[in-house]
Amino acid sequence: MSAVPDMAGGAKESVGKAGALPPSQLVELQLRGVSRAYGSYTALHPLDLTIRGGEFVALLGPSGCGKTTALNCLAGLLPLTAGEIVLDGRRVDTVPPEKRGFGMVFQNYALFPHLTVRGNVAFGLKMRGVAKPEIARRVDEVLRLVRLGEQANRHPGQLSGGQQQRVAIARAIVMEPPLVLMDEPLSNLDAALRLEMRSEIRRIHQEFGLTTVYVTHDQEEALSLADRLVVLEAGRVSQIGTPSELYEHPADPHVAAFMGYRNLLALDVVSARGTAAVARRGGLRVAGTVVGGARAAEGQEVTVAIRPEDVRVVGPGDQPVAEVVADVVEYHGRVLHVEAVTREGDRIHLRAHGQVRPGDALAVAVDADRALLFPKESAGSGGSGRAEAAS
């Protein structure tokens, strides 16, 4: 082993390429300036992130944002262009993926069709030469944990999609890895199974005491599963924080869109006092709070972010922010999802109760404490002049 200078000035122990990582309970994993480039194209700009043992961290963003690249760098499937990965004082980015000891759950499960559930779960332990009694003990324990004990002798083709996913998870965690990496594991399941498996993954994470890094483009998945979220855009980190921090205090319009602020509107400030401001364009006038404690100036362009559920239909006696015409109306049981259009052509997404039909004229209002104003310099690509939907 060789000593590798620590960024803080100390020395870190490095595992040579020939040495496998010993099984251990992860205490801290550090990504220090981790980046990945393909020629002149940078897929992942320098990423600094510390993951604590037992934590569930979700990498969230649209396709092409760098989240899977980051996961593959962690797994060792992609070499780093720059930076280092340090696991409990050991530099591991020079260690081959098969010797890092990490568990991996892929989008397509990658189960062996000719092996039973028990055979699939035991496969990695057999390859490592673990004694048969220990294999039997660990496989039985994990199958009980993922609730597949009764399916142990079935083959993958005899299982549902959710059961196959649990086999893939069991195969990863039976190795007792210091870290489990999951790459959009629910994307192949139908809506009902996705909801069921969300709860299962969180339960397994907690009961087994896992440390998990989870890639997804689904904000609901990320919010419901993760202790912390890392939101990426174009290979760069937009914001890191707890679900409540990002949901209540998004740093920019990109994060706001992923946190449910489906209405992103480019308006101009017409009055401001402290962090409170009023922005307007044509017949659309919204009062809100400037993000980050900044102050807005009159005439400054801002992106106003509003959640659909915070836009309400009002009567003649109320003060509307806009007059709109319902364009698309979707029935969702007790509530209607309405996409309406202002006179200027901005599209507003809102929720309505009662009868609303396409072509109906509506007056809508938004409370000032429910609208966020992002000054143009922090607005990124959000200031398009139209309401935009998070994908």
pLDDT digits (tens, 9 = 90+) for 150-185: 999 999 999 988 899 889 999 999 998 999 999 998
Evaluate whether 91 touches 15 at the Cβ level (below 8 Å): yes
Given this model, what pLDDT does residue 25 score? 74
Residue 229 scores a pLDDT above 80: yes
Mean residue pLDDT across the chain: 87
Residue 389 scores a pLDDT above 80: no
Given this model, what pLDDT does residue 308 score? 95
Q: Please give the residue that has the higher pLDDT: either 384 or 32.
A: 32
Rounded Cα distance between 3 and 12, Å, is: 6
Which residues 6+ apart lie within 8 Å of 155 measured at CB? 113, 114, 115, 116, 117
Q: Which pair of tokens denotes residue 229?
A: 């979220």
> For residue range 332-345, what is the model confidence (pLDDT) as tens digits?
988 999 999 999 89
Residue 10 scores a pLDDT above 50: no
Rounded Cα distance between 200 and 322, Å, is: 44
Mean pLDDT calculated for residue range 130-136: 94
Q: Which pair of tokens denotes residue 6?
A: 């620590």
Q: At what angle do helices 117-127 and 132-145 cross, to 10 degrees?
A: 130
Which residues 6+ apart lie within 8 Å of 331 measured at CB? none
> For residue range 346-383, what is the model confidence (pLDDT) as tens digits?
999 999 988 899 999 999 999 989 999 999 864 444 33
Mean pLDDT calculated for residue range 222-235: 96
Q: Please give the residue that has the higher pLDDT: either 294 or 134.
A: 134
How many C-beta neighbours within 10 Å does residue 353 have? 10
> For residue range 142-154, what is the model confidence (pLDDT) as tens digits?
999 888 999 999 9
Mean pLDDT calculated for residue range 311-321: 84
What single-letter amino acid sits at 324?
Answer: V
Which three-class secondary structure state does DSSP give residue 273? strand
The per-residue b/e assignment along 217-246, b for 16 or more CB within 10 angstroms, e otherwise, is: bbbebbbebbebbbbbbbbbbbbbbebeeb
Given this model, what pLDDT does residue 125 score? 92
> For residue range 90-129, what is the model confidence (pLDDT) as tens digits?
999 999 998 898 999 988 888 999 999 999 999 999 998 9
> For residue range 43-99, what is the model confidence (pLDDT) as tens digits?
999 999 999 999 999 999 999 999 999 999 999 999 999 999 999 999 999 999 988
Cβ-defined contacts of 20-24 (< 8 Å, 24+): 20/95, 20/99, 20/101, 21/87, 21/90, 21/92, 21/95, 21/99, 21/100, 21/101, 21/178, 22/101, 23/101, 23/176, 23/177, 23/178, 24/88, 24/178
Prediction pTM value: 0.83
Which three-class secondary structure state does DSSP give residue 291? helix
Evaluate whether 52 touches 77 at the Cβ level (below 8 Å): no
Rounded Cα distance between 198 and 196, Å, is: 5
Residue 274 scores a pLDDT above 80: yes
Given this model, what pLDDT does residue 34 score? 98
